[in-house]
Amino acid sequence: MNTAMLLCGAVTAAGMVGLAGQFTRSTPALGPALRRTPPGTMATTDAVAGRDEAWGGWLVDRLADLPGVRIPHRDLELLGRTAGRFLLTKAALAVAGLLLPAAVVTPWILLGMSVPVYLPAAAGLAAAAGLWLVPDLEVRDRARRARQEFAHAMAAYLDLVAHGRAADLGPSQALEQAAHIGHGWAFLRLQQALAQARVGQVPPWQELLELTRALGLPALDDVAEIMRISAHDGAAVAQTLRERARALRTQLLADAAAEANAVSEKMTAPGALLAVLVMVAIAFPAVIRILTA
């Protein structure tokens, strides 16, 4: 009996550690990773990625229109992911959750213990349903954090555009010059949008508005609208841009304070429970001594 329990516990722990590792794996540094990569490995990686995309596309064609299957296209586009890879991850996690209870119960059955069939079946269905939703929660959380990062970048971008306009640069030139000064993925998105506007011969603020609607990015619609008014009406907008940047920073600080307060409130219940457990542990010997006296 003890051997069976130890074996089942080891199998369960190994499965949970492997599953947790998939979500806590850190992103390696690109330079050292490329130096460690043997010749020909990149082609293999591309082949694997292509196969995953093919399977993901197959899932999109068959599952995208089913009720209960929601693909967050806007969030995925913001994170640079594809719908196929998203659905493939959901399906893989669901299958893993469905098979995990059976893998845990199998050693018990091999040791001659009687386990009702409905228990692993019900646990597998519950685990599959829960793991099916994990990628949705992960994408939503990452997209929320990405939009927060973009809002911080927009506060700096507004100041840079304001400096350009104060130096008598044209609206388009001020937008492009400010985008090339900054660093990070947010400024890279701005550079790509402005380059596409230049190639398509459309006003840059129009391309920024389309980017805002496509990805749901905060504060970008404000700078686009301000620059559009500046171009058409000849308004001096340097001060307006600085005030908008100041208001955006104030809003971001207020949001950060509210999030910190929410996290502190969530920690109140575990702290109170821990205090109760400590008091029970301290009083338990005395209570037992009184009851047995």
pLDDT(20) > 80? no
The per-residue pLDDT for 49 is 59
What is the CA angle 19-21-25, rounded to 5? 140
Domain ranges of the chain: 148-258
Looking at per-residue confidence, does 264 or 21 come out higher? 264
The per-residue pLDDT for 274 is 79
Give the contacts of 254 (CB within 8 A, at least 6 positions apart): none
Across residues 211-228, what is the average pLDDT?
80
Looking at per-residue confidence, does 139 or 18 come out higher? 139
Looking at per-residue confidence, does 175 or 114 come out higher? 175
Q: Other C-beta atoms within 10 Å of 83: how many?
A: 17
Looking at per-residue confidence, does 17 or 153 come out higher? 153
Rounded to whole angstroms, the Cα distance separating 42 from 34 reads: 9
Looking at per-residue confidence, does 66 or 71 come out higher? 71
pLDDT(119) > 50? yes
Q: For all residues of the chain together, what is the average pLDDT?
A: 76
pLDDT(164) > 80? yes
Model-level pTM? 0.68
The per-residue pLDDT for 139 is 92
The per-residue pLDDT for 12 is 54
Rounded to whole angstroms, the Cα distance separating 75 from 214 reads: 9
Across residues 56-82, what is the average pLDDT?
79
Rounded to whole angstroms, the Cα distance separating 106 from 195 reads: 58
